[in-house]
Structure 1
Amino acid sequence: MPTSAPYPAPHEPLDPQFTVAEKYASVKNTNAGCHPGVLRGATVMNPPNFSLRNTRRRRSLVAAIVVVGVFAAVAVVAALRSGSLVNAGQREPSWHSAQPASLAPPVQPALPPLPEHFTRQPLAWKACSASKPKIRCATIDAPMDYFHPQAGTIKVTFSRFATSVAAKRRGVLLFNPGGPGIEGLGSPWYWSEKLTKDVLDQYDLIGFDPRGVGRSTPIRCGLIENEALPYAPYDPATFTQQAADAKSAAGKCATTGQTTGHISTRNTARDMDLIRVLLGEEKISYFGISYGTYLGAVYTQLYPGRSDRMMLDSNVDPARMGRGFYEGRAIGSARRFTHFTEWAAQRDATYHLGPTPAAVEHTFWGLVDRLKRAPLSIDGRRFTERHARSQMADLSARETDGADFLINLRKAVNGEKNNLYAPEDPGKDDAIASPWLTIMCNDTTTWPQGQQPYLDDLARLKKLYPISWDLETGINACGFWSLHTEPDLTVSNDVPALLLQNEWDLATPREPGDGMHRALRASRLVTVKGAPEHGAYSNGNSCATDIANKYLSTGILPPADVTCPPHSDQRK
């Protein structure tokens, strides 16, 4: 783990059975836990702090592998309940109509109407937790396969924190805290204490465990040891074994059962729409964070007419979902490092790392070269050049932390007393790895297939992004996946949305925010300049939160994109 301050402890759990999966909920400061050095691996798209079961171990694992409309008239509600506004044989809009016919992906088939035993099923509300009785939970049956709704069902559990001001109620606000593979039942509890009164008066707050996760038919592939690491950094000495572990993981997931091939972002979006129907709502509003931004974007693509106020924070580029997401992070790491060398050169009298950006780079790469020849031992653990690159990439956006790290790295290499930290071995947990792999691999076919394509792509990345080319781009089970049930989805539409983005976010850099802005053409992008945290709203920049609160309470978007200045706490 990098040397900056650790994450604060998770907020109070509802109870051991009601796992609160709010990365966004509790993280107030750094991305430090997101990438513990070389073990950063396939981080989910949001920081850890999500489990009540062995928090420290789960934090290490998550690092290693890394939110509705107006009441409808009686006739409309009847139509909703009957399912005629759910999947009435209409094709889900999917592909950008401006694409040349020769380049357009396959047109997605229309979904059949859902039978009434799905759309008219009763909701049996009960307390989610004895300690939080105002939050009520219900479990519903959803089609395992929306194209074949009679082929089987899965359970989906969602929660509700109802507004206490019925006269002002607008609808429901759904949340997703990120992931993929992160529980969300606790979201209403957390956000009921964070959102403004103007917002809380208007919405019932709705959380849910996405299919395959938590209380919603959890997926377990039976992964053990290194199979349960969706990613490991590329290592030429162990690549053959890494590939064997990845292939084994894919094989185990393929034989787990029929459900596994239907655990995907698109089907989770369809579950969200089924929740909308059962709640009797014409539209939903939505607040998604990190991976949750992609889920929200997919919902707008499948159900543009049912999307009300859509707010996406810490964005994923829909065009880069899958392996491209991790290349996007490598791009962000390279840009942060360039920024750091410029900052440090301007302060050479303080830090003595070099009077020019090139000199600062020379200082760092010189130490990396020495570590290649002679790795260190820190606290009994091996510290290699890859640890140095990973921590430098992670800390570059927090300039003083980056400078302190580089100073301590120089001391360590010179045999002097230092404060370096060598990351612990990552945890390995089937409960996290299985849904992560299942969703990421089912969502897209863009992963390199087999060993040699991975090696070819790694050679390309090494030339482009030398500081972080191999940290998150090693081979994983998606390179051997066989469960795809739908063609890849292109997100490209004119649904209005508000996008919040911190410029130097480690988990979801600025570039993916630009990509989401391109995909949602009617969106407005609010960028917090110089902010390194993951989560613009939760980190309290008043410029960004004022815009967000106004949008959720009034539906009014800014007339143009906005760049917010950083506040002092975000630069410490």
Structure 2
Amino acid sequence: MKRTFAAVAVAGIAAGCLVMPSAAAAPATGFTPAPIHWGDCTTSKLEAAGAQCGFLAVPLDYADPGGAKISLAVSRVEHKTARSQGVMLVNPGGPGASGLGLSVLGRSVPDHAGDAYDWIGFDPRGVGSSRPALSCDPNHFRYDRPPYVPATPRLEQSWLDLSKSYAAACAKNGALLQHLKTTDVAQDMESLRKALGEEQINYYGFSYGTYLGQVYATLYPQRVRRMVLDSSVDPRDVWYRANLNQDVAFNRNIKIYFAWLARYDSVYHLGATEDAVERLWYGQLAALTTDPAGGLIGGDEWTDVFLQAGYYRSGWVKLADAFADWVHEGKWQDLKSLYDATGKGGDNGFAAYLGVQCTDVQWPVNWDRWRLDNWSAYLRAPFETWGNAWFNAPCLFWPAEAGTPVTVDGSKVAGALLIDETLDAATPYAGSLEVRRLFPHASLIAEPGGTTHADSLSGDACVDDQVADYLAKGALPARKPGDHADTTCAPLPDPVPAGASAAKASG
């Protein structure tokens, strides 16, 4: 669901497995974790924040709490006030993203409102520094991949073969592959609560982390104190439909980016209208598909690089510079650096993403369904549709049995703060409206017209001050009747490139 080079939040988806029921009853695990033995952290960022690190042992299979154990990597930055407001668990999304470093997030909350919490970062099972960590095929995202758009039966079969091969390579992870559902991770959070000796947790989730929060709150509503969900996943659409919805949304957002480039044609000379920039971009896609820049940056890499423009406006200038340097001077090295920074070469994150998405719910098992749905989406949204389809296609062959998602129900949760930009492409805004409906004591802050994904605590004072108020005092914006946001904030303004004229900048 989330593939990004942005930092932290900000910075998109078996035989013998435990299939969780769809009812909202908390699973009885009978597992009591041992306390975490805290020690020094090994990363400079965590060291500088005074964090402590350790491991939490949890059951591989919560249906067999006395059986095999795995270890979750955990970090903690303790509260700095005389009175503690408890622990704040954080998840950055993905699924498959490392959250170990997110224990530093508290310092981004305005007015020191985060100082009263113990901020807890953790790598979910199979991810990052947790043990064991998933790995399938580190060469899957090599530079010589077939073009995304399967214009011929041969290209389609090439991608199906690659997807089947990747799924088969993942089978070497053994029993872990059977226990990677969101429900498993939610149970790990409950074990983490117990190990920390807390009656309740506070929780801050971004992107996929909002779905994890929804599931935890459904299973353990009495354990939720305060909860912030930034850019909510629509629980009705996990996960096949969610990815098709993304295709349409990202196509809209790339057009918004093309219009921004046209606005600054005096700087970039890539076209004076959105249509002109779009024609140039797709022309480069076709050319690079035939003749990769530097023998490395083909049409697939070109698409992957510019997908980031649909996620985050903060990278628009850097992408525009690389676009212009390639078109006008033939410089491709920055494109390679941007591609490498997407993290697509990171096998662990991709494997863990699939491990969750492919088993949370059964994907269509008939390729004809995928082919029809994705060609239909492509006709409306050509930018990302087939790249997204092949990113998820290993689910067609996944060597672990799918489960049944919980029916999300937040009615027993005392309160939650929801945040979303209305043109968020990775988790379309309809998801936040649906979560607001399912959590009747929650309030939603909307940012009309914003296209950035999961960017709270990134400098928008209107949003961040309300986060601080909620964390400090439990104060939520007054909930309004109807199916809409409870309050709004203007999103951060679009970036202005160096050298832009004042007239263009004021637009």
The equivalent of 1:159 in structure 2 is 75
Counterpart amino acid of residue 490 in structure 2? P
**Is it true that 1:550 corresponds to 2:464 in the alignment?**
no
Alignment coverage as a number of residue pairs: 470
- Aligned equivalents of 2:55, 2:281: Cα separation in 1: 55
Counterpart amino acid of residue 336 in structure 1? N
Counterpart amino acid of residue 279 in structure 1? L
Pick the aligned partner of 1:527 from 416, 426, 446: 446
The equivalent of 2:107 in structure 1 is 193
> How far off is 1:479 after superposition?
0.8
The equivalent of 2:36 in structure 1 is 123
The equivalent of 2:160 in structure 1 is 243
**Is it true that 1:219 corresponds to 2:133 in the alignment?**
yes
Counterpart amino acid of residue 374 in structure 2? L
> How far off is 1:45 after superposition?
5.0
Note if contact 2:420-2:445 (Cα within 8 Å) is conserved in structure 1: yes
Counterpart amino acid of residue 125 in structure 1? W
Identity of aligned residues (%): 28
Pick the aligned partner of 1:461 from 366, 370, 377: 377
Note if contact 1:379-1:422 (Cα within 8 Å) is conserved in structure 2: no
Question: Using a 3 Å threshold, how does the CA distance of structure 1 residues 175 and 193 change in structure 2: closer, same or farther?
Answer: same
How do 1:98-177 residues align onto structure 2 when only pairs under 5 Å count?
107=23, 111-115=27-31, 118-119=32-33, 121-129=34-42, 131-132=47-48, 134-166=50-82, 168-177=83-92
**Is it true that 1:202 corresponds to 2:119 in the alignment?**
no
Note if contact 2:90-2:203 (Cα within 8 Å) is conserved in structure 1: yes
> How far off is 1:450 after superposition?
4.6
- Aligned equivalents of 2:301, 2:68: Cα separation in 1: 47
**Is it true that 1:517 corresponds to 2:436 in the alignment?**
yes
How do 1:129-528 residues align onto structure 2 when only pairs under 5 Å count?
129=42, 131-132=47-48, 134-166=50-82, 168-188=83-103, 190-196=104-110, 198-226=112-140, 233-235=148-150, 236=152, 237-337=154-254, 339=256, 360-361=274-275, 364-365=278-279, 368=282, 372=286, 377=291, 379-381=293-295, 395=309, 412=327, 423=336, 428-445=345-362, 447-474=363-390, 476-484=393-401, 486-494=403-411, 495=413, 496-528=415-447
SS class of match (2:108)? coil
Structure 2 unaligned blocks of 5 or more: 14-18, 480-485, 498-507
Summarize deviations over 1:390-415 as a string: whole Å, max 9, x none: 7777547859969x969978995xxx
Question: Using a 3 Å threshold, how does the CA distance of structure 1 residues 281 and 247 change in structure 2: closer, same or farther?
Answer: same
SS class of match (1:193)? helix
- Aligned equivalents of 1:382, 1:185: Cα separation in 2: 32
Greater Cα offset, 386-395 or 321-330: 386-395
SS class of match (1:499)? strand
Question: Using a 3 Å threshold, how does the CA distance of structure 1 residues 515 and 350 change in structure 2: closer, same or farther?
Answer: farther
SS class of match (2:125)? coil
SS class of match (2:140)? helix
- Aligned equivalents of 2:146, 2:443: Cα separation in 1: 33
Aligned-residue CA RMSD (Å): 4.2
> How far off is 1:468 after superposition?
3.1
> How far off is 1:261 after superposition?
0.7
Note if contact 1:163-1:202 (Cα within 8 Å) is conserved in structure 2: yes
Summarize deviations over 1:59-88 as a string: whole Å, max 9, x none: xxx99x99xxxxxxxxxxxxxxxxxxxxxx
Question: Using a 3 Å threshold, how does the CA distance of structure 1 residues 562 and 248 change in structure 2: closer, same or farther?
Answer: same
Note if contact 2:214-2:410 (Cα within 8 Å) is conserved in structure 1: no
Note if contact 2:246-2:428 (Cα within 8 Å) is conserved in structure 1: yes
- Aligned equivalents of 1:526, 1:348: Cα separation in 2: 34
SS class of match (1:558)? coil
Structure 1 unaligned blocks of 5 or more: 1-42, 51-61, 67-90, 96-106
- Aligned equivalents of 2:167, 2:306: Cα separation in 1: 33
The equivalent of 1:537 in structure 2 is 456
- Give the alignment's TM-score, normalised by structure 1: 0.69
